[in-house]
Amino acid sequence: MDQTVEKPQVQFSEGAMAEIRRYLSHYPADRQKSAILPILHIAQAEFGGWVSPEVMDLVAEILNIQPIEVYEVATFYTMFNLKPVGKHVLEVCRTGPCMLRGSDQLIEHLENRLGCKVGETSADGNFTLKTVECLASCGTGPMLQVREQFYENLDPASADQMLEDLKALTVRKPWEENY
């Protein structure tokens, strides 16, 4: 009796594959592995904001490399989420200058407002709260980033407004129409 366990198949959408092909076209055939970072970004956007082992296997297949090579990159860079995240990932700077300007209080406020701790996702699935190292906005702390958008000089009121604005935001993928 064959005891082979079939993995669930994940596939990129046509829009995501077109974007992947565009990146691959920038590299000679024997150097396409160099597109691993942008393809992982596409994968993360395509599959709900995180990169599962199955998705990493798919990236390896596309790049014709060993899965471990994709795992090494995805686990090295903190910009890749290796577990499910909320619709919006709040990355709060936790280094010295922001801490001196109130990032600890901002984190505490966000934890209370969202009902989750750092590293967790809110019950409604809208927000994941993370801390990160310096985002190079030392003069405007406390600050955080959401999808490369900086929110600076945050206090409880401006943080609450930011959360409301983000809840109302429709998140699109870069290859979708009206991005």
Q: Which two tokens stand for residue 69?
A: 């090579």
Q: Tell whether 116 is in a known binding site.
A: no
Strand partners, 130: 91
Find all residues with CB under 8 Å of 71, minimum gap 6, and list them: 53, 56
- CA dist., res. 110 & res. 116, Å (int): 8
Task: Kindly compute the dihedral angle of the four CA atoms of residues 104, 159, 122, 112, in this order, to the nearest 10 degrees.
Answer: 50
d(CA 10, CA 12): 7
The order of strands in the sheet holding 149-151 is: 127-132, 88-93, 144-146, 149-151
**Paired tokens of 4:** 């082979």
Find all residues with CB under 8 Å of 8, minimum gap 6, and list them.
54
Residue 138 is assigned to a ligand binding site? yes
Q: Mark the binding-site residues for [2Fe-2S] cluster, compressed into ranges.
A: 93, 98, 134, 138
Q: Mark the binding-site residues, compressed into ranges.
A: 93, 98, 134, 138
